Amino acid sequence: MADDWRTDRIGSALRGENPTVLRRLAAGFAVIGDVQFLPGYSVLLADDPRVERLSDLPRDGRLAFLSDMDRLGEAVERASRRLDAAFRRVNLEILGNTDGFLHAHVWPRFEWEPTDLVGRPVWLYPRDRWSDERFALGPRHDPLRAAIGDELDRLRPAA
């Protein structure tokens, strides 16, 4: 029951029941990732579960989603830079190969990553990184969550 939100990430966010939500943005939800082997990993979820791809949105919706992706990426970058001197950059990806709803991955990258992986796509990390409890999102990530949320607030567009 506690993890029911995982089967309906967008619906649970809309209902205020998704515990990974950092902020509601213009076109979706900024959420912190379920796994944190790269601390700060976040995802932008579109706010309509029927939207499968960016091209499903009207032009203004596409621009709003991409603007939100930029905002989340910059927030993760700022928070990561402040919290870890080994921060390198942020990778942004819209893939859609597994989940059937529009979402964008925001991956911070660090100098301390294994040399054979630091310059390669995150998806090449060993599968155990995705399921190992050591990397599962938990209370120890609260300061990171707060830092990203604070940066999202600072980057809020003027009304």
CB-side neighbour CA atoms (13 Å) of 81: 10
H-helix or E-strand spanning residue 23 = strand 21-24
Is residue 39 a part of any domain in this protein? Answer: yes
Residue 135: which domain range? 4-154
Per-residue tokens: 96: 């859609």
Distance of CA 66 to the CA centre of its chain: 13
Q: Rounded CA gap, 13 and 94, in Å?
A: 19
Per-residue pLDDT of the chain (159 residues; tens, 9 = 90+): 356 887 889 999 999 999 999 999 999 999 999 999 999 999 999 999 999 999 999 999 999 999 999 999 999 999 999 999 999 999 999 987 778 899 999 999 999 999 999 999 999 999 999 899 999 999 999 999 999 999 999 999 876
Report if residue 82 sits inside a domain: yes
Give the strand pairing for 103-110 and 42-46. Answer: antiparallel
Total structural domains within the chain: 1
Q: What is the pTM for the complete model shown?
A: 0.94
What distance in Å separates the CA atoms of residue 102 and residue 133, rounded to the nearest whole number? 27
Q: What is the CATH number of the domain that holds 8?
A: 3.30.428.10
Residue 159 lies in a domain: no
Residue 128 lies in a domain: yes
Residue 94 lies in a domain: yes
